[in-house]
Amino acid sequence: KAGVTQTPRYLIKTRGQQVTLSCSPISGHRSVSWYQQTPGQGLQFLFEYFSETQRNKGNFPGRFSGRQFSNSRSEMNVSTLELGDSALYLCASSWGQGATGAQYFGPGTRLLVL
């Protein structure tokens, strides 16, 4: 099975712009979660989608949003970018039902905000 894929892998934006990141989960996985990784804060949960519905949300401002499509692919959007949004954004997929199973992570999208 192909692993979780994320596009683009690298992105440079300027303050005030907006950005959309994409994640394709492992085939058959219905849950997609997003995490932000920074040197200072570590890995922080952004949100989780299951069957096109946001099921969990982390403690991030409303500028961070996401969605999931019927094929389980997910996108996250960050509007009005700030310098502090520079981070590695990781997507993870899982079956999403029953006991918490393994989450399979993608390679990440590295975002630099100038």
| Footprint on this chain of other proteins (rule: CB under 8 A) | 3, 31, 33, 35, 42-45, 48, 50, 55-56, 58, 90, 92, 94, 96, 98-100, 102-108
Nearer to other proteins, 42 or 62 (CB): 42
54: how many CB neighbours lie within 10 A of its CB?
A: 13
Closest approach, Cβ 36 to other proteins, in A, equals 11
Query: In terms of CB distance, is 50 or 81 closer to other proteins?
Result: 50
Q: Tell me which residue of 79, 92, 101 sits closest to 23, measured CA to CA.
A: 92
**Greatest C-alpha distance within the chain:** 42
